[in-house]
Structure 1
Amino acid sequence: MLEVTTDKVAHVILRARELDVKTAAWDDDADSDDATSDAILEDRPDDATRQELREFLDSLNEDEQASLIALAWIGRGTYAPGELDEAIATAKTEHGNNPVDYLFGLPLLPDYLEDALDQLGYSVEEAEEGIVRRT
């Protein structure tokens, strides 16, 4: 059974997509507080979106974090949708100490999460629309 709400998964998808569109910093000497249109497209360690997503993931409990990892695994095909409980148990065992770092290390995280929700029969669009309306 999925131990994280689809609203929370949608929030992670949306924020991770925002990070995916950013490019590597091209001016290391520039002030990170520079608010030019070019600067907001750069992926910097102190990026507000990155920090917000990290804080959000840190605020989730162990079950929710393990569910996100399990969803990512289902989305990339490591587990089948019917193996959700096994994937969650494995995520707790293998990544219980660093789930946030592991999730940040998955380059296609939003795609994996979206694919997994779809495979499990959840409406990704409805969950994302609910998040967008509230923000």
Structure 2
Amino acid sequence: MDIGADQVGEVILLAREMVEQYTGANEQFDGLIEGMNDDQRLDLVALCWIGRGDFEPEEWDEARRTASEEATLSVAEYLKGVDHLAEHLEAGLDAMGINPVDAEDSATES
């Protein structure tokens, strides 16, 4: 993966804030996603899909390729429309062998 676990943790935290409708969370989320490179954004979509059960961890390359081929919205807009985004990203990290709690803790420390 090109994206760091701490970056995913930060996305998870902001996704939770958006659900709870904290002021400014949408702008922070957009800024965070737009500040990532294309590979990192594709990683986020692939992690979400793996966490949601659309792909298995061993189908990582296929998930990323599909994300690239099917991109019609900005990644930020797409992810904001995914119900339970934070939970899917956590499940995706877990499926990839990365502890989501550690990722979120790293995000709060940086």
Shorter-chain TM-score tier:
over 0.9
Tell me the equivalent position of 1:117. Answer: 93
Partners in 1 of 2:73 and 2:108 — Cα distance? 31
Across the aligned residues of Structure 1 and Structure 2, the Cα RMSD in angstroms comes to: 1.4
Percent same amino acid at aligned positions?
34
The residue correspondences of 1:96-107 to structure 2 (distance < 5 A) are 98-107=74-83
Q: Which structure is higher in helix share? A: 2
TM-score (normalised: structure 1) = 0.76
Deviation >6 Å, runs of 4+:
none
TM-score (normalised: structure 2) = 0.93
CA offsets per residue over residues 61-109 of structure 1, 9 Å max, x none?
Answer: 1111111001110011000010011100110111165222111111211
1:7 aligns with 2:44: no
Partners in 1 of 2:72 and 2:2 — Cα distance? 15
Alpha-carbon shift at residue 133 of structure 1 (Å): 2.1
| Structure 1 unaligned residues grouped into runs of 5+ | 23-40, 42-46
1:70 aligns with 2:69: no
Partners in 2 of 1:90 and 1:75 — Cα distance? 15
**Number of aligned pairs?**
110
Select between 98-107 and 81-90 the one with higher mean Cα deviation: 98-107
